[in-house]
Amino acid sequence: MAREFTSVGVVGLGTMGAGIVEVFARNGIDVVAVEVSEAALDRGRANLTGSTDRAVARGKLAEADRDALLARVDFQVGLDALHSVDLVVEAVPERLDLKRRIFAELDRVCRPEAILATNTSSLSVTEVSVATGRPQQVVGIHFFNPAPVMKLVEVVRTVVTAADVVADVEALCARLGKVGVTIGDRAGFIANALLFGYLNHAVAMFESRYASREDIDAAMKLGGGLPMGPLALLDLIGLDTAYEILDTMYRRGGRDRRHAPVPLVRQMVTAGLLGRKSGQGFYTYEKPGSSKVVPDESTPQERPAAGDGARPVARVGVVGSGATAAGLVEVFAGAGYDVVQVAPGAEPLDGLAEVDLVVEAVAEDLGVKKELLASLDGVCKPGVVLATTTSSLPVIDIAMATGRPADVVGLHFSGPVPARPLVEIVQTIRTGEEATATARAVCATLGRTAVVCGDRAGFVVDALLLPYLNDAVKMLEAGYATVDDIDHAMKLGCGYPTGPFELLDAVGLDVALASQRALYRELRDPGFAPAPLLEHLVTAGYLGREAGRGFRDHTAR
């Protein structure tokens, strides 16, 4: 039988700590909420009352339930107030020396049988635990922000945490209505280890001026299906917090370059550009603490309705006979364009002689695409924009098969084409301004959001998404967590619509592997090398949902 926790203590009443207090009190547990001073205690009380008042205003909490919740909380200054609780959860800033001092004091104050827990998101639970004389009773209980809303709790056991302690905490998570995922003491645990590599990569993309902040964030929301763009999310988390988490994971996690903080992050922290909390980060906000973004010197200017130098397009040619080509025909025709579709090899290309834009959607094979573009060069009239829908091949290689590389762009529609609102416009170093402007204007007519990027492997979406998926495979391969636990962590802890393995099975493991290989060939960074497990599954024919088996067995569904 799991022990019954009747009273708990929470140390640190910032946004996270106050949220944890609310979670316990909402579920009928008495809470001793502790801060270091009266002023800090007042701020913590305000955090809690503000959160519960907002819940009442939104109809998520009845006034009587709010009053009962607040009545269960005993606000106190100093750790001595925790002498009789069953469990303490520490939620102070991510500084190992601070946490160790607190745990040493908790060891002195708390009853011998009390469980001591840390809400750390990146520090070693083991290093915290050895500051006490009871490391077997120390565990990580990592809530996600906002704690009352997010369903995931990572339960982190050390090599000496007692099995009954873990079982008691798992039962408590269930009582709180949370999904507990139990894992070992590894840098970043599950969610942060996967999330922050992706966020760090997005900063590197922005730092190199590969794409604008708006385009990076729009690409991942609209093309990746994520609830927030990476740069906006970093502003929400706080650049200082992100830097500490990345630096800790880099030092503790084998010095993986995916977690080495991009220099721009440190520079922004040094300059006080911490995100929403300071009023400025990657974006500028109405005031410190506000979520309202206001224009600044980096905000893009509205483009003229005429298309800013775009060539007129009335007729569109689509080359291809597969699902992508069919989707393109549907989208262009639905937007009022006259569309000519040609199936390569089965029909002559002469029907494209009078079109203003050609979009090819043939096999993802460089030789096939180059041969097609060379043929189009001899058929199409001057000034026609030639677009490739490639998702992984170098656009410049395709463009140079023609005598008009200035007229060649990439138009990567996120699939399925009719359903997804994003188009990545890929400029090569030879693409002319008129061709890019024409692509922008056409995308606007289609009702699509266009993001402009350079000709690099993966463009924006796949360059950020695929390494995250690859990292998840490496985590599974290392035996750190299961397929289900990793998917739960990213859906329930980060609000992602699908877990990484659900997504890989849907996309196709062979497709993901081919794109990851292209990224690795271009970047030559060991952190981007395809996970051996991914390669083995593809070799075995376990390609995902359509094949009946990938990371999960789909034959019985």
CATH of residue 509's domain is 1.10.1040.10
Of 402, 427, 454, at which residue does a domain stop?
Answer: 454
Flag whether pLDDT at 307 surpasses 70. Answer: no
pLDDT on residue 254: 75
| Count of CA atoms in the C-beta half-sphere (13 A) of 9 | 29
Note whether 344 and 414 are same-domain residues: yes
- pTM for the model stands at 0.89
Note whether 385 and 442 are same-domain residues: yes
Note whether 84 and 142 are same-domain residues: yes
Query: Is residue 39 within 8 Å of residue 45, measured between CB atoms?
Result: no
Of 158, 185, 212, at which residue does a domain stop?
Answer: 185
Note whether 345 and 439 are same-domain residues: yes
The answer to whether position 286 is within a domain reads no
Note whether 168 and 208 are same-domain residues: no
Note whether 343 and 410 are same-domain residues: yes
- Angstrom CA distances, 117 to 72, 216, 241, stand at 20, 37, 20
Note whether 130 and 198 are same-domain residues: no
Closest alpha carbon to 139 in 110, 111, 170: 170
- pLDDT-derived band at 309 (thresholds 50, 70, 90) equals confident
Note whether 128 and 259 are same-domain residues: no
The answer to whether position 2 is within a domain reads no
The dihedral formed by the CA atoms of 410, 414, 416 and 419, expressed in degrees to the nearest 10: -110
Closest alpha carbon to 151 in 176, 179, 175: 179
Note whether 17 and 150 are same-domain residues: yes
Cis peptide before 532 (omega within 30 of 0): no
* Start-to-end CA span in the chain (Å): 36
Note whether 483 and 503 are same-domain residues: yes
pLDDT digits (tens, 9 = 90+) for 448-498: 999 999 999 899 999 999 999 999 999 999 999 999 999 999 999 999 999
Query: Is residue 25 within 8 Å of residue 32, measured between CB atoms?
Result: no
Query: Is residue 90 within 8 Å of residue 61, measured between CB atoms?
Result: no
The enclosing H or E element of 388 equals: strand 385-388
pLDDT on residue 304: 47
What are the catalytic residues?
121, 142, 154, 192
Note whether 341 and 422 are same-domain residues: yes
**Average pLDDT for 19-33:** 97
**Average pLDDT for 37-55:** 95
Domain range for 470 is: 460-547
Note whether 179 and 202 are same-domain residues: no
CA distance 88 to 6: 12
Residue 231, amino acid:
L
Split into its structural domains, the chain has a count of 4
Of 185, 211, 227, at which residue does a domain stop?
Answer: 185
Residue 441, amino acid:
A
Query: Is residue 216 within 8 Å of residue 453, measured between CB atoms?
Result: no
The answer to whether position 296 is within a domain reads no
